[in-house]
């Protein structure tokens, strides 16, 4: 048997399968793209961690980076710090979110719809800005809240210090609370009220119902929220980048940054080693999350059932409930927004007083709107947001359709592959991509394309989630009718499915575009000076101490985010809360 | 006729040779060729707001666009080295302090270029190999918040910072992440001999607020987060706010350099840019933004700046190995050890 015969035999089956079912071609294409996106950085991250020479220099296999990393007691301190930080902030986020969700969904507290802003507004702030805003509010000597408390209560020293583990947990908890709110409120919305009603008929008090019925029912959602936020916090680089250094606390992400960029000389091999450890940790927790939600997926997706949850009459306590929810809204939305606006309009950050009137200025806006670097960063980020979100949603749509509506082989393999981007921390993915594109002979390293690939890979699961829940609702008859009339896969996809999927497509697109516009933790490692997006530019403003330009750019980006959402909703004619 | 042409060629040739010998390998840039290259990319450690007026003037004069990316000296070196090793350098010119410029030079990142205007710079800053060109000096002193500290109460010397009065009230860059600060502390041996490390340990005991690089030291002072800090004098001019500096006898000073990429695709524009930066026009534009330029006689518009110039003490440069040891071990233990 010669080589040609062997090859023919090997390819015979797949070729025949493609002829019989064109879905197999599409499935194979989707499979190859997703496999490439998720496996190449994973493989190269491991490769880099075992290589003796730095990025771009041929080296040999070595275990020395692992030996160095794990013989260093600092690593174990990192592990402890990262776990305390992630666990603390995820518990705080879930707690705050549950309180607001319960008040808005299940009670008759006045103004409760307004508190849902807690979940929506932070999606337009660059996440770095929240940490900076809280730095301005709670730094020990100059924090505006600290100064106000010292002045009005006559305290001897500042009561709060943001530059501490508690400060980091507090800020990260506030940043991740909106996600927790979405999960918990969806669960509260979709729960069957008949159980509670039965308990009430049986004579249970409100508290008993809450403890015995409501809590057990939403427990999976609470656990899911806590687990997901744990993963988000352990991979978060925004908050640690601003708060951990002055606090002299090191977590995994700051260590990766220090080794890859911040140290001299940088050591991308050791950075890869730490990134591998971080990836393993996040994979374990994402696996746990998926186990937890596999039976309770219905809590976060549209189920088609339309329950009207029972509204609890809080009596005179309803004002108290509103006050609590308002306080949380102030912490998550109002205060950071006010600080951003304040800093963006004064010459330099100071405690507001008489001299503030003399220091009011539009200079920071003027400098941003006329500066070539800012202009180019805005251009880059808009390109990444619009192009990236569109490409990512197209890929997600095809993938979601293939995995839910067809019986093509390899569906489970694709689902397994999307597990990796789910778990990939932004910092680890970036290091993996750096190692990949230094070796891949395509002009991608140091260009916008490496960022585009990074963004699509990392946030593909977000697109998949929206599209899967939309595709499930499309009745099988429509594409089947199209196919029967002789339309191929692409014609059916373009003319039947895409219009039907538009609401889901646009909702996912909005989520992705707003994330891409503000992305920081992957970009900071991957950008080059010519391809600098907004996230790294904001960070550079911060490290140079240019808080005014930073905050004014933050405000500008928030406005652009808002415009993107409005325009996309016009195009899609759907509500943001439609999902 | 032919003879006359030949003679003319010979005379022109001889004149060119004389001119070449007289400028000692300095090479005037080709302006026309530079203009055709349209733009250059500069990676530098100078804050963008201080570079902007000079870049605008250059762009106006020659129609060549300057794309400037700023990082700390450390970040600039890291990025330039990574891109060079990966075979994809995105820069034409690299600006930065001597320590990291020497490391990049040794890795082969630069090619020789001596701008004619640099001939008038002090002899000690002329590099024999012509691979790096000094263009500004950066004296380091103590800066303080003038709203919080009266000039009389400000520390007079670096030793004054060790007083209990300043515990927890000093800001400086993290010497495990910032090369110039590591170099500064190491060079304190010029003033303190073998006892320099004792000073560093005592300074660490003052629990300074550590920031990323020398620039944010200034804003930490302006905000009042720390009333005093160690950083460049020039920031008094480059940042708006209540900030002054301490006049001392001597200042550890770092010269910064401009170097031409060995793999530049815009060699003429890059040479023209370096020449412009060293020309009296470029040096004056830099001084106007608070820089202490290399061309003698040009002083920045900072109060008592002329008194600073005689006190400049230029720092020595640790080797790459010494940097590694200082930043990765010595200072890590002193500033982050239990």
Q: What is the DSSP string of A214-276?
A: IHHHHHHHHHHHHHHHHHHHHT--HHIIIIIHHHT---HHHHHHIIIIISSS--HHHHHHHHH
A482 at B interface, C-beta within 8 A: no
Q: Are the beta carbons of B224 and A445 separated by less than 8 Å?
A: no
Q: Which residue of A has its CA nearest to B335?
A: A248
Q: Are the beta carbons of A350 and B323 separated by less than 8 Å?
A: no
Please enumerate in sequence order all residues whose Cβ is within 8 A of that of A194, keeping only pairs 6 or more positions apart, or say none: none
Strand pairing of B251-261 and B110-111?
antiparallel
Q: Are the beta carbons of A544 and B324 separated by less than 8 Å?
A: no
Alpha carbon B40 to chain centroid, angstroms: 19
In Å, how far is A529's CA from the nearest CA of chain B? 6
Proportion of chain B above pLDDT 90, given as a percent: 66
Residue A493 is classified by DSSP as I
A245 at B interface, C-beta within 8 A: yes
Number of A–B residue contacts, CB under 8 Å: 124
Q: Are the beta carbons of B213 and A543 separated by less than 8 Å?
A: yes
B209 at A interface, C-beta within 8 A: yes
What 3 state SS string does B252-277 have?
EEEEEEEEEECCCCCHHHHHHHHHHH
Q: Are the beta carbons of B220 and A265 separated by less than 8 Å?
A: no
A343 at B interface, C-beta within 8 A: no
Strand pairing of B292-293 and B133-145?
antiparallel
Cis geometry, peptide bond prior to residue B105 (ω within 30 degrees of 0): no
Q: Are the beta carbons of A264 and B49 separated by less than 8 Å?
A: no
Instruction: Count the neighbouring beta carbons within 10 Å of the beta carbon of residue B275.
Output: 24
A370 beta partners:
none
Q: Which residue of A has its CA nearest to B336?
A: A248
The CA distances from residue A43 to A37, A40, A433, B209, in Å, are 11, 5, 10, 40
Q: Strand, coil or helix: what is A159?
A: coil
From first to last of its 579 residues, chain A has per-residue pLDDT tens of 455 565 556 556 655 655 566 677 888 888 899 999 999 999 999 999 999 888 777 888 999 999 988 888 888 998 999 999 999 999 999 999 999 998 998 888 898 888 888 888 888 888 889 999 999 999 888 888 998 888 888 888 889 999 999 999 999 999 999 989 988 888 888 777 788 888 888 888 878 888 888 888 888 889 888 998 999 999 999 999 889 877 888 899 998 988 887 776 778 899 999 999 999 999 999 888 888 777 654 433 334 445 567 788 888 888 999 999 999 999 999 999 999 999 999 998 887 888 889 999 999 999 888 888 898 999 999 999 999 999 999 999 989 888 887 777 778 888 888 888 888 999 999 999 988 988 888 888 878 999 999 999 999 988 998 888 888 877 778 777 887 888 877 788 788 887 888 888 998 999 899 999 999 999 998 998 778 999 999 998 988 888 899 999 999 999 999 999 888 888 876 444 433
Which positions in chain A touch B72 (Cβ < 8 Å)?
543
B216 at A interface, C-beta within 8 A: yes
Which positions in chain B touch A367 (Cβ < 8 Å)?
49
Q: Are the beta carbons of B67 and A530 separated by less than 8 Å?
A: yes
Please enumerate in sequence order all residues whose Cβ is within 8 A of that of A220, keeping only pairs 6 or more positions apart, or say none: A187, A292, A293, A295, A296, A299
290-329 in chain B: CB under 8 A from chain A: 320, 323-324, 327-328
pTM beyond cutoff 0.95: no
Phi/psi region, residue A545 (left: phi>0; alpha: psi -120 to 50; beta: rest), is left
- Residue with token string 């770095």: A128
């Amino acid at each position: 048997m010669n080589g040609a015969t062997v090859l023919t035999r090997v390819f015979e089956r797949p070729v025949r399968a493609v002829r019989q079912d064109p879905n197999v071609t599409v499935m194979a294409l989707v499979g190859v793209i997703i496999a490439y996106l998720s496996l190449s950085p994973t493989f190269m991250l491991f490769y880099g961690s075992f290589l003796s020479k730095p990025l771009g220099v041929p080296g040999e296999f070595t275990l020395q980076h692992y030996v160095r990393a794990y013989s260093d007691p600092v690593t174990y301190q990192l592990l402890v710090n990262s776990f305390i930080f992630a666990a603390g902030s995820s518990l705080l986020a879930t707690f705050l979110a549950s309180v607001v969700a319960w008040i808005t969904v299940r009670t008759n507290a006045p103004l409760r719809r307004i508190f849902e802003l807690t979940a929506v507004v932070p999606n337009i702030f660059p996440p770095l800005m929240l940490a900076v805003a809280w730095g301005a509010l709670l730094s020990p000597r100059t924090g505006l809240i600290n100064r106000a408390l010292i002045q009005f209560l006559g305290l001897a020293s500042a009561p709060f210090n943001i530059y501490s583990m508690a400060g980091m947990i507090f800020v990260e908890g506030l940043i991740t609370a909106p996600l927790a709110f979405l999960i918990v409120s969806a669960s509260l919305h979709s729960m069957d009220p008949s159980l509670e009603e039965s308990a009430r008929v049986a004579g249970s008090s409100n508290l008993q119902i809450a403890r015995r019925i409501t809590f057990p029912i939403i427990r999976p959602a609470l656990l899911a929220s806590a687990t997901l936020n744990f993963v988000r916090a352990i991979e978060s680089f925004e908050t640690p980048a601003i708060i951990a250094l002055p606090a002299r606390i090191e977590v995994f992400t700051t260590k990766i940054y220090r080794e890859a960029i911040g140290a001299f000389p940088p050591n991308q091999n050791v950075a890869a080693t730490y990134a591998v450890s971080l990836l393993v940790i996040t994979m374990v927790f994402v696996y746990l999350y998926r186990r937890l939600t596999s039976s309770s997926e219905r809590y976060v997706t549209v189920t088609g059932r339309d329950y009207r949850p029972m509204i609890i009459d809080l009596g005179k306590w309803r004002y108290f409930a509103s006050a609590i929810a308002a306080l949380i809204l102030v912490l998550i939305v109002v205060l950071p927004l006010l600080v951003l606006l304040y800093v963006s309009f004064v010459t330099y950050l100071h405690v507001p007083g008489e001299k503030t009137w003399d220091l009011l200025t539009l200079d920071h806006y003027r400098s941003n709107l006329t500066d070539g670097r800012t202009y180019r960063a805005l251009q880059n980020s808009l390109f990444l947001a619009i192009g990236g979100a569109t490409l990512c949603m197209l890929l997600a749509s095809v993938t979601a359709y293939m995995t839910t509506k067809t019986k093509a082989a390899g569906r489970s393999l694709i689902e397994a592959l999307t597990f990796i981007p789910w778990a990939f921390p932004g910092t680890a993915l970036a290091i993996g991509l750096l190692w990949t594109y230094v070796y891949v002979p395509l002009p991608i390293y140091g260009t916008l394309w490496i960022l585009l690939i990074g963004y699509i890979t990392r946030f593909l699961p977000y697109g998949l989630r929206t599209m899967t829940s939309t595709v499930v609702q499309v009745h099988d008859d429509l594409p089947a009718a199209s196919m029967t009339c002789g339309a191929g896969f692409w014609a059916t996809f373009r003319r039947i499915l895409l219009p039907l999927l538009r609401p889901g497509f646009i909702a996912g697109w909005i989520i992705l575009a707003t994330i891409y516009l503000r992305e920081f933790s992957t970009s900071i490692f991957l950008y080059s000076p010519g391809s600098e997006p907004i996230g790294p530019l904001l960070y550079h403003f911060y490290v140079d101490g240019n808080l005014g330009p930073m905050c004014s750019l933050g405000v500008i980006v928030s406005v652009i985010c808002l415009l993107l959402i409005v325009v996309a909703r016009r195009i899609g004619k759907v509500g943001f809360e439609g999902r | 006729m032919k003879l006359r042409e030949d003679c003319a060629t010979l005379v022109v040739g001889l004149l060119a040779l004389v001119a070449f010998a007289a400028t000692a390998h300095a090479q005037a840039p080709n302006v026309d060729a530079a203009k055709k290259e349209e733009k250059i990319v500069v990676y530098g450690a100078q804050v963008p707001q201080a570079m902007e007026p000079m870049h605008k003037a250059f762009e106006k004069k020659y129609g060549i666009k300057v794309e400037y990316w700023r990082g700390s000296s450390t970040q600039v070196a890291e990025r330039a080295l990574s891109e060079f090793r990966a075979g994809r350098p995105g820069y034409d010119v690299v600006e930065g302090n001597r320590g990291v410029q020497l490391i990049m030079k040794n890795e082969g990142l630069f090619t020789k270029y001596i701008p004619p205007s640099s001939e008038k710079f002090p002899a000690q800053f002329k590099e024999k190999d012509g691979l790096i060109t000094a263009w500004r000096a950066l004296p380091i002193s103590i800066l303080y918040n003038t709203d919080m500290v009266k000039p009389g109460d400000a520390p007079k010397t670096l030793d004054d910072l060790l007083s209990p009065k300043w515990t927890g009230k000093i800001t400086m860059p993290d010497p495990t992440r910032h090369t110039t600060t590591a170099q500064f502390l190491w060079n304190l041996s010029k003033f303190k001999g073998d006892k320099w490390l004792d000073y560093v340990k005592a300074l660490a005991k003052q629990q300074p607020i550590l920031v990323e690089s020398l620039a944010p030291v200034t804003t930490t002072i302006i905000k009042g987060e720390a009333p005093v800090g160690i950083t460049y004098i020039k920031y008094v001019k480059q940042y708006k706010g209540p900030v002054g500096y301490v006049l001392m006898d001597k200042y550890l000073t770092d010269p910064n350099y401009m170097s031409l990429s060995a793999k530049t695709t815009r060699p003429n524009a890059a040479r023209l840019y370096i020449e412009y930066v060293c020309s009296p026009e470029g040096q004056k534009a830099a001084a106007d933004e608070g820089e202490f330029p290399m061309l003698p006689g040009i002083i920045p518009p900072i109060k008592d700046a002329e008194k600073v110039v005689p006190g400049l003490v230029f720092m020595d440069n640790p080797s790459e190995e010494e940097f590694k040891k200082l930043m990765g071990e010595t200072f890590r233990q002193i500033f982050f050890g239990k």
